[in-house]
Structure 1
Amino acid sequence: MKQFRNRLTLIMLTLIGLSMLGAGLAMVKVFKQSHIQLLEDNMIREIRLLQTMMDFPDTDSPDAVEYYTNRSLQLEELSDARVTFITKDGRVIGDSESNPVTMDNHAYREEVLEAGKTGKGSTIRRSSTLGQDMLYVALPVKVGDSFDGFVRLSLSLSQVDNGVRQGWTVMGIGLAILFLAASLLSIRVAKGLTSPLEKITRVARRIARLEYDARVNINRKDEIGQLAKAINGMADSLQTQVRTIRDNEDLLQSVLNNMTGGIVMVNGSGRIMLVNRAAERMLGIDAEVITGKSYRELKQHYELTKLMKEGLDNRISFHEERNLYYPVESIIRLDGVPMVQEDGAYRGMLFLLQDVSDIRRLERMRSEFVANVSHELKTPLAAVKGFAETLLGGGVSDEKTARSFLQIIYDESERLNRLIGDILELSSIESKRVQMDYSPIHLQAFFETISEMMRTVAEKKRISLELDVPEELFMEGDEDKLRQIFMNLLSNAINYTQEGGRVKLTAREKLHNGQSEDIVQFIVKDSGIGIPKKDLPRIFERFYRVDKARSRGSGGTGLGLSIVKHLVDMHHGRIHVESELGVGSSFIIELPVLQEQEEAGI
């Protein structure tokens, strides 16, 4: 902008200088012409005055040349101009500067010819006699029969040139002063024009740098003020539009990032244009790295890229499921949708990824659950039916044998009753229909009650049942559900511990760096047969049995640990197992001291 201001100032000064120079030249020319015209008019008046006051003897007399020469000399002293008398035929008979006898014929001189035609003749030319520019003025003069010719006055223009030079000097000084004043005014005007333009330019550059809050602070009513208002209006419009676009982008990005399903957008040339967080997590990729590259870069997912290629080639929708093994083994449902604009232009394919591993696992578990329930129900029912048919058929006459058959029927009925009860309990828990009734619990008294109930069973197997619960330990929980948790765990510990073994329940407040975490840790430890490491991840599944024959023989339903896991979750706690085969197992439960009361929905 500074260069523009300098150029503008230079242009203005140049225009002013040229204008002033042109005006000066015109003024000098007018001055010179007016001065010459004034001299010419004076010389005409002088000739006419001579015509009326001077005697004109006959030009053919012998002393005519001398007479007219003397008169020309006298007149030159009076008028300060060269005087020449010329006859009609152009012969010079008198001149104040030269000898008439030696002078050329003047009949064809410009001023003489013009005077003969128009009655007045004038011209400016360089005198060969005097060697300077001269103004020649001639008038025809006729006095009776004695003189018929021309009287010519000539005057050197050196005086005119001197006047012009003086005029140039005065005018030059004036023009210089005027030019200086005009220069200062031009600089001020240029600055007044460019300064607001500089502000507008700076604001425009800030807007170009995405600083949409920039505004032009110019209060003018001219075109520059209108331009400033237009720039501010444009900035307001841009700021509003950009804010709307950013809000929409943020909303869209938030939606994409928080979607549970993955999205991969591939353009028509096969380049990945968009990947959301869910897709990053499912495919084990980084959006910043993969965006802009070919979908073939997903080399670790061969089946996936094969489906993408088919979708891009055929441009049709499809729905497929594939197993992925990286970054973790999972089952992915891939939906391909062609992206076509309203004008029919093909933009590529949109691939929607949904991790259906949990759904398929649940379907498998449901199927296994139905199969397990059918099997668990079928076994005791077959026993009941078989022994009942034997008794009804009269095949047993021995009362002792009959009584043992009835005992088996009773035991199997009890087992069916427990199984059905556990199934209903688990179903109720999983459907969230169980209401939690939290209350303060004194843990030592609570476990003393449970110990009394379990001690008889433990004594039958000569198993030592120990409690290690501080007297001051309290917590908040649902007493019935907690009793169900620990009854199941202690019952399992006793059932899977050999005779003469040991089962111990420990309760402690969990500490971290000497500070309480408001968590109570419970450990149910036994010296039983232990659990193989490969079975540890699945022991909380429904009907999962480590040793099916041993479990069934112990009277278990296979649902106890699954119920325990759900009840611990309902208390906002955690449970895990540590076990060593042949040494024993430890079930570790961590429950919060205080339970968060869930507000009922309105």
Structure 2
Amino acid sequence: MFILKSVVGKLWITIIGLVVVVLLTLSLFLFRYIETSFPKSKDQAETLTRLAVKVANEISLHKEERRYLQVVNELLSAQGASILMVTANFEQIDPPFAQTQDKTFRYTDFFTKADLQKAFAGQSVDNRNTSSGPRAPLSNQYTAVAVPYMNESQTQTAGALILYQLTQSAEETQAYVKKLFVVVGVAGFLMTTFFAFFLLTRITQPLLQLKKAADLISKGEYDTRVPITSSDELGELGKTFNHMGQKLSDTIKALSHEKEHLASVLRSMGDAVITFDADGKVILTNPPGDKVVRDWNEIHWTDDWSGQDERQLPRKPETVPEPLQPLFQGVISEAKEMTAKLHVQSEVWSVVMAPLYSHEIVRGVVAVMRDVTEEFRLDKLRKDFVANVSHELRTPLSMLQGYSEALIDDIAATPEERKDLAQVIHDESLRMGRLVKDLLDLAKMETGNMELNLRELEVNTFLKRIHRKFAGLSKEHGITMTCILPEEELVLFQADEDRVEQVLTNLLDNAIRHTPSQSLIQLSAARTRYKGEDAVLIEVADQGYGIPAEDLPYIFERFYKADKARTRGATGGTGLGLSIVKNIIEAHEGTVHVKSQPGQGTTFSITLPCKAV
């Protein structure tokens, strides 16, 4: 039952149990006392019978003796007894003794006529031991005996003498006490129930309010408080609960602030941060980490991670990605921090993975990942740059050293031979000079230290001059160069003429060197739109050998040459021209693109904005 599970119900049952135990214990001792201190009803009846017989035997002989009557009357008064006298005709007569009670009784209150018939017949009759049948009205309250009394001549029975007394036996007292205890027990039950319902409002209601407030706090309502209605222990408990709620609210707010601070830090980090549990499931990520997990788990990895099979179903996105599995297992098993560099398709990632502890048990792993593809590429470019510079310088230096030694050793026999050797040394020194100059220019451009002399540039006039400059050279190679310009005037309001000329010089020089004779090189310009504004489009198109498709993405890198077999003669390029072109155009906030197919020529398109930089 619900009430037995409540505090009030338990208190109610406890109090009732205490009342029952007290009443039972008290009744046990009281009944024991009554049994030892009060006479039995049988004893009282026997005593009254002896007294009644004695009085009946003497009453007819001494009823005229005043002194005798006075003694008998005092004796009866001392016993609390009274006498009724009934004649054989069932007529009640006044006894010679004074009544000891104010209330007057009739013989029918104690005996029936059938009982008195026995007394008239010479028997002693007890109202508690009469024949079966209806009993007299006062038989339960009074103990009465009826004995015969004789006439004055002592020859026959004149009637019956009834001696009665309030019942003072143990049985009656016990019955009375039982009734009393039943009444007291019922009263105790009712009072206990009343006080239980009284305590329901004084104890249970505050406790229920505390429970309700605790439930609300457990649901996140940390500002919940309980009303204080008393200054007792429950009131102190309520105050303590409210104080605890305030402290908890402050702590939660502080934790939330720290959590938001940590979340902000994680969100603002460029590195990917991922937390896994011991089973490899993702617990927490920042946006870059979430992207890495999602992207990597959508790929079906082969054993070497070099490709993917789109026919396979993707892995579940909440698990450790395949490239991180070996590192994850190592951190879990060895419980120590590990670092690694992972090559994932075309990207390079630096990974630092550390264990998370809970009571000295590894409960998970946190991984911090950084995309170092650009750093890796730049490091590779640096190494390639050093290798390429060494390679580019090795040839002219070797030639300078060899031809200079030939001059020193007088190997050249004629002045013409010495002149040829000196010419080679001169050409290689010029080649080295161009290489050093290009390297210095490229270094300035990439570090942002390139100075531009910006002024207004009239494009049509400028391109006509460039065309005249290279027309003779192209004619020497059997190449036809044309210049197509619009009728409208094209103006760049801010441009460095020398740098733009350097761009076109590099492009036309490459076109002439890689275009066979009897072919065409076309220089053209037109108005266009770039980023929603007016711009000038300059194109250099040739009918040369073209550039393979696999080389197109790399032609603007330093020292990259699509023609790997081209000899490095005196007129050979340094491999830096196109890289310089790209940097100059980007410094003017423009763009350069290339379109090429092997055997069909190459077209370089330069777009320069007309407005001021």
TM-score bracket relative to the smaller structure: 0.5 to 0.7
**Taking structure 1 as reference, are residues 286 and 556 closer, same or farther at Cα in structure 2, changes over 3 Å only?**
closer
Alignment partner of 1:564 out of 540, 558, 581: 581
Please tell me whether the aligned partners of residues 128 and 143 of structure 2 are also in contact (alpha carbons under 8 angstroms). Answer: no
Please tell me whether the aligned partners of residues 339 and 348 of structure 1 are also in contact (alpha carbons under 8 angstroms). Answer: yes
Please tell me whether the aligned partners of residues 5 and 194 of structure 1 are also in contact (alpha carbons under 8 angstroms). Answer: no
**Taking structure 1 as reference, are residues 457 and 68 closer, same or farther at Cα in structure 2, changes over 3 Å only?**
closer
Shift of 1:419: 1.0
**Taking structure 1 as reference, are residues 151 and 289 closer, same or farther at Cα in structure 2, changes over 3 Å only?**
farther
Gaps of 5+ in 2: 20-54, 65-82, 146-151, 153-160, 168-175, 300-313, 475-479
Please tell me whether the aligned partners of residues 125 and 135 of structure 1 are also in contact (alpha carbons under 8 angstroms). Answer: no
Q: For residues 354-410 of structure 1, what are the alpha-carbon distances to aligned partners after superposition, in whole Å with 9 as ceiling and x for unaligned?
A: 5555444433332322222122223234444555555563735455x6655555444
Q: 1:441-480 counterparts in 2 under 5 A?
A: 442=456, 445-446=458-459, 448-449=461-462, 451-461=464-474, 462-468=480-486, 471=489
Q: Distance in 1 between matches of 2:5 and 2:362?
A: 55
Please tell me whether the aligned partners of residues 520 and 592 of structure 1 are also in contact (alpha carbons under 8 angstroms). Answer: yes
Please tell me whether the aligned partners of residues 590 and 608 of structure 2 are also in contact (alpha carbons under 8 angstroms). Answer: yes
Please tell me whether the aligned partners of residues 338 and 349 of structure 1 are also in contact (alpha carbons under 8 angstroms). Answer: yes
1:245 partnered with 2:255:
yes
2:449 paired residue number: 434
1:59 partnered with 2:72:
no
Q: Distance in 2 between matches of 1:470 and 1:97?
A: 161
2:31 paired residue number: none
Instruction: Determine what percentage of the aligned residue pairs are the same residue.
Output: 24
- Which amino acid in the other structure matches residue 224 of structure 2? R
Q: 1:312-323 counterparts in 2 under 5 A?
A: 312-313=332-333
Q: For residues 272-319 of structure 1, what are the alpha-carbon distances to aligned partners after superposition, in whole Å with 9 as ceiling and x for unaligned?
A: 5657544963881379976886x6x73xx4xx6456555655556665
Gaps of 5+ in 1: 21-54, 85-91, 110-123, 140-145, 157-163, 597-602
Q: Distance in 1 between matches of 2:357 and 2:13?
A: 63
**Taking structure 1 as reference, are residues 195 and 523 closer, same or farther at Cα in structure 2, changes over 3 Å only?**
farther
Please tell me whether the aligned partners of residues 82 and 97 of structure 1 are also in contact (alpha carbons under 8 angstroms). Answer: no
Please tell me whether the aligned partners of residues 535 and 546 of structure 1 are also in contact (alpha carbons under 8 angstroms). Answer: yes
Shift of 1:333: 5.3
Q: Distance in 1 between matches of 2:162 and 2:136?
A: 22
Q: For residues 329-374 of structure 1, what are the alpha-carbon distances to aligned partners after superposition, in whole Å with 9 as ceiling and x for unaligned?
A: 4455566656667x76555766665555544443333232222212
Please tell me whether the aligned partners of residues 332 and 353 of structure 1 are also in contact (alpha carbons under 8 angstroms). Answer: yes
Secondary structure in 2 matching 1:69: strand
**Taking structure 1 as reference, are residues 497 and 273 closer, same or farther at Cα in structure 2, changes over 3 Å only?**
same
Shift of 1:240: 3.2
1:395 paired residue number: 412
- Which amino acid in the other structure matches residue 412 of structure 1? E
Q: Distance in 1 between matches of 2:575 and 2:488?
A: 32
1:81 partnered with 2:92:
no
Q: 1:205-244 counterparts in 2 under 5 A?
A: 205-209=215-219, 211-216=220-225, 218-222=227-231, 223-244=233-254
Q: Distance in 1 between matches of 2:222 and 2:610?
A: 54
Secondary structure in 1 matching 2:550: helix
Q: Distance in 2 between matches of 1:561 and 1:467?
A: 24
Q: Distance in 2 between matches of 1:188 and 1:202?
A: 21
**Taking structure 1 as reference, are residues 213 and 135 closer, same or farther at Cα in structure 2, changes over 3 Å only?**
closer
Shift of 1:539: 0.5
- Segment of structure 1 superposing worse, 455-464 or 501-510: 501-510
Q: Distance in 2 between matches of 1:6 and 1:321?
A: 64
Q: Distance in 1 between matches of 2:460 and 2:246?
A: 73
Q: 1:94-173 counterparts in 2 under 5 A?
A: 100-102=119-121, 104-105=123-124, 130-132=135-137, 133-136=139-142, 152-153=163-164
Shift of 1:576: 3.4
Please tell me whether the aligned partners of residues 575 and 588 of structure 1 are also in contact (alpha carbons under 8 angstroms). Answer: yes
Q: Distance in 1 between matches of 2:144 and 2:453?
A: 141
Q: Distance in 2 between matches of 1:595 and 1:103?
A: 157
- Which amino acid in the other structure matches residue 464 of structure 1? T
Q: Distance in 2 between matches of 1:292 and 1:7?
A: 47
Please tell me whether the aligned partners of residues 81 and 154 of structure 1 are also in contact (alpha carbons under 8 angstroms). Answer: no
Please tell me whether the aligned partners of residues 261 and 279 of structure 1 are also in contact (alpha carbons under 8 angstroms). Answer: no
TM superposition score normalised by structure 1: 0.62
Secondary structure in 2 matching 1:364: helix
Instruction: Determine which structure has greater relative contact order: mean sequence separation of CA pairs < 8 Å that are 6+ residues apart, divided by chain length.
Output: 2
1:115 paired residue number: none
Q: Distance in 2 between matches of 1:225 and 1:531?
A: 90
Secondary structure in 2 matching 1:420: helix
- Segment of structure 1 superposing worse, 306-315 or 562-571: 306-315
Q: For residues 558-585 of structure 1, what are the alpha-carbon distances to aligned partners after superposition, in whole Å with 9 as ceiling and x for unaligned?
A: 1121123334444555543221222232
| Aligned alpha-carbon RMSD (Å) | 6.0
Shift of 1:417: 1.6
Shift of 1:533: 0.6
1:36 paired residue number: none
Secondary structure in 2 matching 1:216: coil
- Which amino acid in the other structure matches residue 81 of structure 1? F
**Taking structure 1 as reference, are residues 63 and 69 closer, same or farther at Cα in structure 2, changes over 3 Å only?**
farther
Shift of 1:241: 2.9
Secondary structure in 2 matching 1:233: helix
Q: Distance in 2 between matches of 1:435 and 1:18?
A: 102
Q: For residues 504-540 of structure 1, what are the alpha-carbon distances to aligned partners after superposition, in whole Å with 9 as ceiling and x for unaligned?
A: 34454437xxxx6247463524023221111111101
Q: Distance in 2 between matches of 1:19 and 1:316?
A: 66
1:423 paired residue number: 439
1:540 paired residue number: 556
Q: For residues 118-177 of structure 1, what are the alpha-carbon distances to aligned partners after superposition, in whole Å with 9 as ceiling and x for unaligned?
A: xxxxxx9687694443433799xxxxxx9xxx9844689xxxxxxx9xxx9xx9xxx9xx
Alignment partner of 1:524 out of 514, 539, 549: 539
- Which amino acid in the other structure matches residue 558 of structure 1? G
Q: 1:342-381 counterparts in 2 under 5 A?
A: 345=361, 356-381=372-397
TM superposition score normalised by structure 2: 0.61
- Which amino acid in the other structure matches residue 372 of structure 1? N
Q: Distance in 2 between matches of 1:477 and 1:125?
A: 144
Please tell me whether the aligned partners of residues 458 and 494 of structure 1 are also in contact (alpha carbons under 8 angstroms). Answer: no
Shift of 1:448: 3.2
**Taking structure 1 as reference, are residues 346 and 201 closer, same or farther at Cα in structure 2, changes over 3 Å only?**
closer
Alignment partner of 2:506 out of 488, 511, 514: 488
1:284 paired residue number: 296
Secondary structure in 1 matching 2:221: coil
Q: Distance in 1 between matches of 2:497 and 2:240?
A: 75
Alignment partner of 1:502 out of 512, 521, 527: 521
- Residue-pair matches, total: 502
- Which amino acid in the other structure matches residue 207 of structure 1? I
Q: Distance in 1 between matches of 2:284 and 2:58?
A: 126
